[in-house]
Amino acid sequence: MAGHTAALDSKTLWGGKISPFSTSYGKLMMWFFLVSDALSFGGLLISYGFTRHDCLEAWPIGEETFNSMPFLGHGYPLLYVALMTFILIISSVTMVLAVEAGHRMDRKGVTNWMIATIIGGFFFVGSQGWEWYHFIHGSEFGKIELADGSVAIVKGHFGEIKNFTVTKPGNHHKEGDVIKEDLMHTFQHAAAAGHINNGIITLHDGSEASITKEKDHELTLIVKKSGKLNKASKAKRKITGVKAEKLYYEALYSGEANRVIYGANLKQNEYGPQQYAQFFFFITGFHGFHVFSGVIINIIICLGVVAGTYHKRGHYEMVEKTGLYWHFVDLVWVFVFTFFYLI
Amino acid sequence: MERDDLIEYSLDTHHNEEKGKEIRKKIYKVTILLTLVTVIEVVLGAVIKQDASIWPLIKWTFLVLTLLKAGYIVMVFMHLGDERKWLRYVILVPYFIFILYLIFIALWEATAIKSVLTYFS
């Protein structure tokens, strides 16, 4: 038997010397962490699907909800989020190129590609901030409850508000004053609080003013919840032209509070059912936090690369491990993108 | 004290310039593919409305394209395709068992709850 034991030396057996799956301990643990993290995200997205599936109200549609572009305004469905997705994919590519450079012990290559990855990551986090800002802020028209009790979202180009001319003096403004500042903000606040009655706005100081406003263009109401007259059925849910304008302003200038909702927060939501906003904030927030921590980890590892720590060690496995995490963040976004924006 | 009884790193970690070129070519190919798939998804999403009659087909197309993208990211970018076969199984099999079961049970329950809500509303 002695011959046998000699053949099975420590190189052949594990004996604590060869890692399982020929993978290092660190990489293996990173994979196990990612599996558990993927289960968290899977659970979140499935609970989103659960809520969407049993919801009786119409669920928001991605291209109707997300259609703004920086510097260009509204009317660009899904374009910005497509750009975000592209940025994240490209930063994933630069990361894998950094890993490849590490395998050739090319320290300069690793540094450059990692810096590119970090820049891409910052762009993505910034974009998500911008997206949240728009989501919270809402559209210029808001969601409106029409006179018959139906609820509609509104599309079109909002005519600019030129000024408020004071018709009845209050504590602060005199009759005949022309107010030109902070118009949109004041207008939306007054509309939501029911302080606009028949085109006359009541300001904070109790004065009343008439509104000078340009005409809206292509105003379209999309009925999301049926009322007595307007139905949310597929064929009839869109109301356009003069009728849409009449219905919208009748409701907006009704003088009743809470007829219009601008934007979304944890209490109200312009775009659809309240749960939608909760899931949006939680899932994209959770993902955004992953991206942010990924950027921080990338920066730390990049500093290590610049300092030559991994070069001295003889391998760039740390870059590979952060790479795994970074690709995972990209992977999650692929699913968030599909379930929140496309479907 | 230095320990010599540990192999810190997997065996096939370094490669030469020639192999690097080959790998980079593959990376660029996958990049183009992922970009193309994203463009197709966005164009489909922007052009075809959800009340169109072919929407269910588009929805399934989105799911297939998403899984395709995910597959390329995991297998090529995360190098899972280059790892040992059993490592692949250890990672993917438990995950898919859990997730598929969860999807099944969630949609099943949601359908039941919806029918109850519809009945009482």
Going along chain A from its start, the domains and CATH numbers come out as 37-138+275-342 (1.20.120.80), 143-268 (no CATH)
Three-class DSSP category at A280: helix
Q: Quick count: other Cβ atoms within 10 Å of Cβ B47?
A: 11
Three-class DSSP category at B35: helix
Residues B46 and B91 placed together within one structural domain of the fold: no
**Residues spanned by the domain of B54:** 17-82
Give the pLDDT score at A4: 47
Evaluate if residue B7 carries a pLDDT over 70: no
Q: Of A205, A212, A199, A295, nearest to A254 (Cα)?
A: A199
Give the pLDDT score at A230: 82
Evaluate if residue A298 carries a pLDDT over 70: yes
Evaluate if residue A174 carries a pLDDT over 80: yes
How far apart, in whole angstroms, are the C-alpha atoms of residue A31 and residue A316? 17
For the record, the structure tokens of B103 come out as 């999807």
A337: closest chain B residue by CA: B66
pTM reported for the whole predicted model: 0.87
Q: How far is CA A248 from CA A163, A245, B4, in A?
A: 20, 5, 77
Summarize pLDDT for A123-142 with one digit per residue, the tens. 999 999 999 998 998 888 88
Task: Please report whether residue B76 resides in a domain.
Answer: yes
Residues B64 and B96 placed together within one structural domain of the fold: no
- C-alpha of B110 from chain center: 25
Task: Please report whether residue B94 resides in a domain.
Answer: yes
Is B16 an 8 Å CB contact of chain A?
Answer: yes
Question: Closest to B73 (Cβ–Cβ): which among A50, A78, A331?
Answer: A331
Residues B69 and B88 placed together within one structural domain of the fold: no
Residues B90 and B69 placed together within one structural domain of the fold: no
Q: B30 versus B11: which is more confidently predicted? A: B30
Identify whether the C-beta of residue B48 lies closer than 8 Å to the C-beta of residue B59.
Answer: no
Count of domains observed in chain B: 2
**Contact: B78, A328; criterion CB under 8 Å:** yes
Summarize pLDDT for A271-280 with one digit per residue, the tens. 888 899 999 9
How far apart, in whole angstroms, are the C-alpha atoms of residue A178 and residue A165? 5
Question: Closest to B45 (Cβ–Cβ): which among A17, A51, A63?
Answer: A63
Residues B88 and B58 placed together within one structural domain of the fold: no
Give the pLDDT score at A94: 97
Task: Please report whether residue B3 resides in a domain.
Answer: no
Task: Please report whether residue B10 resides in a domain.
Answer: no
Residues B22 and B76 placed together within one structural domain of the fold: yes
Residues B35 and B69 placed together within one structural domain of the fold: yes
B residues 53-92 closer than 8 Å to A (CB):
59, 62-63, 66, 69-70, 73-74, 76-79, 83-84, 86-87, 90-91
Checking B29-35 for CB contacts under 8 A at 24+ apart, the result is B30/A93, B30/B72, B30/B76, B30/B77, B31/A89, B31/A90, B31/A93, B33/B72, B34/A89, B34/B69, B34/B72, B34/B73, B35/A86, B35/A89
- C-alpha of A139 from chain center: 15
**Contact: B83, A39; criterion CB under 8 Å:** no
Task: Please report whether residue B108 resides in a domain.
Answer: yes
Please state which of the ranges A277-291, A294-308, B35-49, B58-72 shows the lowest mean pLDDT: B35-49
Evaluate if residue B53 carries a pLDDT over 50: yes
Q: Quick count: other Cβ atoms within 10 Å of Cβ A296?
A: 12
Whole-number average pLDDT of chain A: 88
For the record, the structure tokens of B53 come out as 């009659």
Residues B96 and B53 placed together within one structural domain of the fold: no
For the residues A298-313, what does the mean pLDDT come to? 94
Q: Quick count: other Cβ atoms within 10 Å of Cβ B54?
A: 9
For the residues A173-177, what does the mean pLDDT come to? 85
Residues B51 and B91 placed together within one structural domain of the fold: no
Question: Closest to B51 (Cβ–Cβ): which among A22, A234, A331?
Answer: A234
Task: Please report whether residue B11 resides in a domain.
Answer: no
How far apart, in whole angstroms, are the C-alpha atoms of residue A39 and residue A319? 24
Q: Of A271, A50, A307, B6, nearest to A281 (Cα)?
A: A271
Task: Please report whether residue B66 resides in a domain.
Answer: yes
For the residues A100-113, what does the mean pLDDT come to? 94
Residues B75 and B26 placed together within one structural domain of the fold: yes
A residues 228-257 closer than 8 Å to B (CB):
234
Residues B59 and B99 placed together within one structural domain of the fold: no
Q: A88 versus B1: which is more confidently predicted? A: A88
- Chain A nearest CA to B1, separation (Å): 16
Identify whether the C-beta of residue A61 lies closer than 8 Å to the C-beta of residue A67.
Answer: no
Give the pLDDT score at A5: 47
Residues B44 and B63 placed together within one structural domain of the fold: yes
